[in-house]
Amino acid sequence: MAMSTPAGGHHRLDSSNDTVVLQFREEGLPEILHWGTRLPDEIDLEEFRRAVERPVPHGLFDLGEAPSLIPQAGSGFTGHPAIQVHRGGYDTITDFRLAGCQADSAKINFVLNDETLAATLLVQLMLDPTTGVLTSRIKLTNTGADGLNLDWLAGLTLATEYADITQFDGRWALEFQLVRQYLSSGQIGKENRTGRTSHHSPPFLIAGEKGFGENHGAVIALHLAWSGNHKLFAERLRDGRIQLQCGVLLTPGEVILKRAESWESPPVYVARGERGLNDASRKLHAFVRQNLLSPRIAKKPRPVHFNTWEAVYFQHDLAKLKTLADLAADMGVERFVLDDGWFKRRINDRAGLGDWEVDDIKYPDGLSPLINHVIARGMEFGLWVEPEMVNSDSDLMRAHPDWILGIQGRAQPLGRSQYMLDLTRRDAFDAIFEKLDALLRQYPISYLKWDANRDVSHGLSAGRPAMYSQIQALYRLLDRIRDAHKDIEVEACASGGARADYAMLTRAERIWTSDCNDPYDRQTIQRGFSIFFPPEVMGCHVGPRRAHTTGREASTAFRAYTAFFGHMGIEANLLDLTAQERLQIATVIREHKRWRDHLRHAQIMRLEYDDRSICAFVAIGEASALISVAHLSSSPYPLLAPLRVPGLGRGNWSVQQLNIPPAARSRVKYAPPLSLGEKVILPALVLREQGVPLPVIAVGEVAIFALHRLGTANE
């Protein structure tokens, strides 16, 4: 690649709405001078730089706190550096300088050299022309003779003034819970050392103007596309600015580069929201849909699932499963997913992982009788697997006790009675591939639910840290399976939602959001999930009347209309539901099928509402929109305030509530036409400024409104 420094030491990247201006100082470090709304084409970048330049206060280094994309101690930076390396304890100070770059209006690649250290960095920034989402990639190469230890390489460092920081917290069965903190001093950040994307610390970071909301205030939403250990943080620097950094969390000694070897960070994706978090989500969803999602999603509408887990757990009985398949098919299900429990010795979660042979007691004639039955009922067949894991009670472990991550002779805590296989070993990798491949060749399985149910404490291979290589091996395994079986779809799952990230999303058509099917909690879980992920990849199931994870009861309508807004499915023992309940779910499924194409293209906007008892959002398309309003806890007032709905542009919309509860008339003294299911016409500006009048909704109810644009968008 021909490399040169851009004329004038500046370069701009443009999307339809955004401009990023980079400058290359004389000292040789690239810096983002500006990232904001698109600047006029004719702007003189040198003038612009002079205009936005900031003073250098006393008390710091002579050039100030060396702002750059690669802040380092060597160039006068005392915050957390973007890169930390050494050679056996020497060469700890880096001073990478620009050696050349190659750029166009959407992309810039630059090479930075540190000749004393003998290493180079290759950095690439891409601004997606349509959405304005920024992608950052960075690669370190050792050009010296001795081994170069890499301890930290930020996938991206962004300087910002935004101190209102939001990250996700969560746990098994309660993922994607937002935690908001103001960064006055020091760092706010999270590390993930679980070896999976994580329930409690997934790789997302949001920084905004103080008090930003869903529809106001500028924000930056950032994601490291990685499914293993990571660290993301915001740091208040001593000059008052803030830096955001994220990268793979490496174990000391994990990466030692030999001469000419390289290490590359996973990509980082960042969206800027000018008007709140919804704006950032709009860009991220569009970017994901255009650039990351598998084309398999566009090929066909997302099939409605039936998943057997909460219906039967490990008690697989062919006759019962066939009955469930019949009931599911009658309810409009299109894909039957046989969850955990189908393979040898799998009577509980303590045995069988790793063998992947059909249990001949539960299935004396193999899976064919069930699969044929499912297919005959017009459904696809999907199968649960957990390929990275092994139980000690398995033939695989008995034959190859050394195939697990860890150290022989050192005990390690078990998670769900299982170990993680060392996929960096060729033999273990090939053996697992062959077992999965054989299953997929033997049976017409068109879907794999790919689970991973333990955290990793001893991420070691042959005594050395190996979590980074392990996750790369996982990606290779998934890619190999998907290459060998071109039509297969995959669901990324890890004890519920501990594997929701964009790296998995390029290899999976669905993400299992959470094991919690209780709509009260699901509403907030799905709300958090929707910040970075579009609805068509969000696995959502109608659970049993009493939720297995919370013990709480919820109405059929509430459960069904909560599952309605993603990739819908059912996960309950259908034999425990009354015919009336099954019919009710089937009716919502029918409705979902009418709207699922809309959802696949829709812009999701989380709606703000003063009364915290309400959780509401809207899915907006060109000509129609769907609003969901869930009442989660008792409201202080008998009358709910109208719900303001932005994003509908101009013109008039017809508005109609889709699901009128039987008590709609009797629970109030007067019910207006909208609350009785009549269509009303409202201008977009009234919906935005005054809002949709809400009916009296009982706690545990959800109101769904269908909107249709009258006339064209410009009226």
Catalytic sites, residue numbers:
451, 515
Taken in order 357, 360, 361, 365, the sign of the CA dihedral is positive
Residue 478's H or E segment, with its range, is helix 467-484
CA pair distance 374, 363, nearest whole angstrom: 15
Nearer to ligand DGJ, 340 or 509 (CB): 340
Q: Which residues pair with 10 in a beta bridge?
A: 23
Q: Taking the complex as a whole, how short is the minimal distance between the CB of residue 312 and ligand DGJ, in angstroms?
A: 11
DSSP strand pairing (680-683 vs 389-391): unpaired
Nearer to ligand DGJ, 245 or 453 (CB): 453
DSSP letter assigned to residue 303: P
Taken in order 362, 368, 369, 375, the sign of the CA dihedral is positive
Nearer to ligand DGJ, 226 or 450 (CB): 450
Residue 391 CB partners (closer than 8 Å, separation 6+)? 350, 351, 352, 353, 354, 397, 417, 418, 419
Q: Taking the complex as a whole, how short is the minimal distance between the CB of residue 544 and ligand DGJ, in angstroms?
A: 14
Phi and psi at 418, nearest 5°, equal -140, 160
Radius of gyration of the chain measured on its C-alpha atoms: 27
Q: Taking the complex as a whole, how short is the minimal distance between the CB of residue 300 and ligand DGJ, in angstroms?
A: 23
Q: Taking the complex as a whole, how short is the minimal distance between the CB of residue 493 and ligand DGJ, in angstroms?
A: 5
Strand positions, DSSP E, 128-183: 134-142, 148-153, 156-160, 164-171, 174-182
CA pair distance 534, 603, nearest whole angstrom: 8
The 3 state secondary structure assigned to 668-679 is CCCCCHHHHCCC
Look up residue 604 and give its two tokens.
Answer: 């999701």
Longest Cα pair distance anywhere in the chain, in angstroms?
Answer: 84
Nearer to ligand DGJ, 170 or 496 (CB): 496
Q: Of 83, 149, 137, give the one whose Cα is nearest residue 110.
A: 137
Nearer to ligand DGJ, 309 or 529 (CB): 309
Instruction: Give the 3-state secondary structure of residue 138.
Output: strand
Q: Taking the complex as a whole, how short is the minimal distance between the CB of residue 391 and ligand DGJ, in angstroms?
A: 12
Q: Taking the complex as a whole, how short is the minimal distance between the CB of residue 365 and ligand DGJ, in angstroms?
A: 24
Cα 573 to Cα 46, 181, 671, distances in angstroms: 67, 42, 37
Nearer to ligand DGJ, 172 or 475 (CB): 172
Taken in order 84, 85, 89, 91, the sign of the CA dihedral is negative
DSSP strand pairing (119-127 vs 134-142): antiparallel
Contacts by 663-668, CB closer than 8 A, 24 or more apart? 663/698, 664/695, 667/696, 667/698, 668/695, 668/696
Cα distance from N-terminal residue to C-terminal residue, the chain:
50
CA pair distance 611, 640, nearest whole angstrom: 8
Hey, what amino acid is at 81? Answer: P
Q: Taking the complex as a whole, how short is the minimal distance between the CB of residue 247 and ligand DGJ, in angstroms?
A: 28
C-alpha 413 chain-centroid distance? 28
DSSP strand pairing (164-171 vs 204-208): antiparallel
The 3 state secondary structure assigned to 47-86 is HHHHHHCCCCCCCCCCCCCCCCCCCCHHHCCCCCCCEEEE
Q: Taking the complex as a whole, how short is the minimal distance between the CB of residue 478 and ligand DGJ, in angstroms?
A: 17
CA pair distance 70, 66, nearest whole angstrom: 9
Q: Taking the complex as a whole, how short is the minimal distance between the CB of residue 515 and ligand DGJ, in angstroms?
A: 5
Instruction: Give the 3-state secondary structure of residue 379.
Output: coil
Look up residue 709 and give its two tokens.
Answer: 């644009």
Q: Which residues pair with 223 in a beta bridge?
A: 204, 269
Q: Taking the complex as a whole, how short is the minimal distance between the CB of residue 315 and ligand DGJ, in angstroms?
A: 13
Look up residue 179 and give its two tokens.
Answer: 């935690």
Q: Contact at 8 Å (CB) between 373 and 336?
A: no
Q: Taking the complex as a whole, how short is the minimal distance between the CB of residue 531 and ligand DGJ, in angstroms?
A: 21
Phi and psi at 525, nearest 5°, equal -60, -45
Q: Taking the complex as a whole, how short is the minimal distance between the CB of residue 394 and ligand DGJ, in angstroms?
A: 15
CA pair distance 572, 577, nearest whole angstrom: 8
Nearer to ligand DGJ, 384 or 595 (CB): 384
Nearer to ligand DGJ, 449 or 709 (CB): 449
Nearer to ligand DGJ, 341 or 621 (CB): 341
Instruction: Give the 3-state secondary structure of residue 162.
Output: coil
Question: Of all residues in this chain, which one has the CB nearest to ligand DGJ in the complex?
Answer: 340
Cα 287 to Cα 132, 205, 216, 271, 596, distances in angstroms: 8, 17, 21, 9, 20
Footprint of ligand DGJ (CB under 6 A):
309, 339-340, 384, 451, 453, 493, 495-496, 512, 515
